[in-house]
Amino acid sequence: MLGYTEGVHIEAIDLFHLSLPLRSPWRAGGGHLADREVLLVRLRSNLGEGWGECAAFAMPFYSTEYIGSARRTIEEFLAPRLVGAIGVDSASVPGMLAPITGHRMAKSALEMAVLDCELRAAGKSFADYLGATRDRVDAGVAIGIAGSVGDLCDAVAARVDEGYRRVKLKIERKRDVIPVTAVREQFPALALQVDANGAYTLDDLDHLSRLDSLGLLLIEQPLHEDDLLGHARAAERLATPICLDESLVSVRATETAVTIGACEVVNLKPGRVGGYLEAKRIHDWCLERSVPMWCGGMLETGLGRAANVALAALPGFTLPGDLSASERFYQHDIVTEPITLQDGTIAVPTGPGMGVDMDIEAIERFRLP
């Protein structure tokens, strides 16, 4: 509990299901998006409002959670546990929602809304609450599967010209060694990493080892999310460091993966682990053991992006994360001041709560029935 409020008396929880046009189609992990559907949570209370964003996609191609399941779970099972409760604070939310199994992204959105509400009431920024040590963070960008090697190199060149300090390339079978090699040859000094989204098996290790000569920061989630032993074997075989994403859903899962040698680097996504409080616990565990970390992205709007930037300002985040500017993906963001890039970095929000104000007109414009 923050200590300077009596807690939140939650009066209502409203859900907003939006469809935001993307600047260009996004293809990765089995999905193809022309629009990013977004589920927002607005909490109304005695202390004012708070907003949260659910990281789930419209379809379950990244995780078992998707917007339809998150919306129903919040409406039928999670929100009733919070609405009407007196003295709620962010620290108590995980315990209140624990009887509902799983649904971490849905729970994260509610925790985020409570955090935003209580921090706004206290006049405190999320970055200060977390203990951020930087006022700007290095920006990295993710690039999806391209139609051709030339298209991919052009996309990377555009991002490098914009000032991004690290580029992540999505890869899959038959779209890996050749395009990544072409990018490396064109940008020999670029901080470069790849993300497989579990597209490979142990039978592919000899093939993946061809990436070792390209000086990559890491290869992210090469095998299926539940194959920790397989990732440990991959880490022994490959010179490129293994980073895990989908496999890491809690502090316990992170401890297990690191301990058995399944990963050397951690990609931390708050929605995937159930919220920012669990993300902070994972950060602290990794920081104590000098495990390299970076903050992953889920094509968030300016709301989720601002919160992730604050998280990435903690001292344990030693690698640039997926923290691109709003305009990288969206023609129109839903916050009044979109996240912007300057000299390859993004400013950590300093306003109360998550540090951004919602553009209600835009939210209503892109809202689905």
Q: What percent of the chain has pLDDT over 90?
A: 90
Kindly list the catalytic residues. 170, 269
- Strand spans (E) along 280-347: 293-295, 321-322, 345-347
First to last CA, the chain: 36
Give the span between the Cα atoms of 126 and 107, in whole angstroms: 18
Looking at residue 30, what is its pLDDT? Answer: 60
The answer to whether residue 32 scores a pLDDT higher than 80 is: no
106 CB-contact burial (10 Å; exposed 0-12 / middle 13-18 / buried 19+): buried
- Show the domains of the chain with their CATH numbers: 10-123+361-365 (3.30.390.10), 127-356 (3.20.20.120)
Strand-strand pairing, 321-322 and 10-28: unpaired
pLDDT surpasses 70 at 31: no
Angle between helices 228-237 and 251-259 (to 10 degrees): 40
| Per-residue pLDDT tens over the stretch 160-189 | 999 999 999 999 999 999 999 999 999 999
8 Å CB contact between 64 and 246: no
Pairing of strands 31-45, 10-28: antiparallel
Q: Give yes or no for residue 275 having a pLDDT over 50.
A: yes
- Structure confidence at residue 27 as a pLDDT band (50, 70, 90): low
What integer best gives the mean pLDDT of the chain? 95
Residue 77 scores a pLDDT above 90: yes
SS3 78: helix
Amino acid at residue number 144: G
User: Given this model, what pLDDT does residue 2 score?
Assistant: 53
pLDDT beyond 70 at 114: yes
CB 218 within 8 A of CB 240: yes
Beta bridge partners of 358: 335
Q: Which amino acid is at 172?
A: E
Which own/partner contact pairs does 92-96 have at CB distance under 8 Å and 24+ positions apart? 92/1, 92/7, 93/275, 94/274, 94/275, 94/277, 94/278
Q: Which residues pair with 247 in a beta bridge?
A: none
pLDDT in tens, 300-337: 999 999 999 999 999 999 999 999 998 888 989 999 99
Judge whether 181 and 152 are in contact, CB under 8 Å. no
Higher per-residue confidence, 16 vs 328 = 16
Per-residue confidence (pLDDT) for residue 4, from 0 to 100: 45
Residues 130-146 pLDDT 10s: 999 999 999 999 999 99
Task: Name the residue type at position 351.
Answer: G
Distance CA 276, CA 238 (A): 32
